[in-house]
Amino acid sequence: MNPVAILLIALIAVIVIVALYFAGKQKDEAEGILGTFPVGTYLAGFAGAASRENLVDCSVTEASYVFVADHDKELGRIPRNGIIDVFYEEKAQTLSRLTATKDLTFTAFGLDKSASDLKKEYCLVIDWDDNFAVRHNTIFEFSGSAAAGTQAHKAVEALKRHQKPHLPRLRADEKRCPYCAEIIKREALVCRFCNQRI
């Protein structure tokens, strides 16, 4: 092949890569994305999302964590002030710490594997509540090498770095006391915390 043609092809490839980079950056700025980081393989926890998605990224906006697979497919969102706890540990130990396991099956979670295989896998768990005070556990998996624990640790640190203080949600039958701001039943006439008549 002609050296000029090779140089021309290389130049076009560089121009395309730079254009794609800046197009992605402009898209992030338009959506108000503050940062993006990998969170592993999605296992469970978002209504309507597939049971397993590889190479999921988390993009942080002012209000939410947005979890995306395959660069465009949004799996779900978690309010930045809705996180109760974020942790990671060996996969075999994770199920006992979950608070919302109704959507999980043992096989989908991978507990049909041997104990030695499970020790090589880590789960990142986000314990959170939505705007209707319903509690969820969203689970991601890191596996395949000794670095899995390090990758899970980095994802937890990134989530915590962007986390806002948890804001407890009110259920339909609750309200805040106007005097002490504690959560009480909507029908209450006297606050059980400060004894003020409402």
| Structure confidence at residue 103 as a pLDDT band (50, 70, 90) | very low
User: Would you say residue 82 has pLDDT above 80?
Assistant: yes
User: Would you say residue 107 has pLDDT above 50?
Assistant: no
Give pLDDT, residue 106. 44
- CA pair distance 78, 86, nearest whole angstrom: 12
User: Would you say residue 179 has pLDDT above 50?
Assistant: yes
Give pLDDT, residue 105. 47
Helix spans in 119-192 (H): 148-162
Q: HSE-up of 2 (CA within 13 Å, CB side)?
A: 4
- 31-46 pLDDT tens trace: 688 899 999 999 988 9
Sequence-ordered list of residues with C-beta below 8 angstroms from that of 105, at least 6 positions apart, any chain: none
- 110-147 pLDDT tens trace: 555 555 554 578 889 999 988 888 889 999 999 876 56
The letter for the amino acid at 145 is S
Q: Give the residue, 184 or 29, on which the prediction is more confident.
A: 184
**Mean pLDDT, residues 78-99 taken together:** 84
- CA pair distance 159, 154, nearest whole angstrom: 9
Residue found under tokens 């979890």 = 67
User: Would you say residue 98 has pLDDT above 80?
Assistant: no
| Structure confidence at residue 48 as a pLDDT band (50, 70, 90) | confident
Domain boundaries, the chain: 30-167, 171-198
User: Would you say residue 96 has pLDDT above 60?
Assistant: yes
Give pLDDT, residue 183. 87
| Structure confidence at residue 104 as a pLDDT band (50, 70, 90) | low
Cα of first residue to Cα of last residue in the chain, in angstroms, is 85
Give pLDDT, residue 69. 92
Give me the CATH topology for the region 30-167: PH-domain like (2.30.29)
Give pLDDT, residue 121. 85
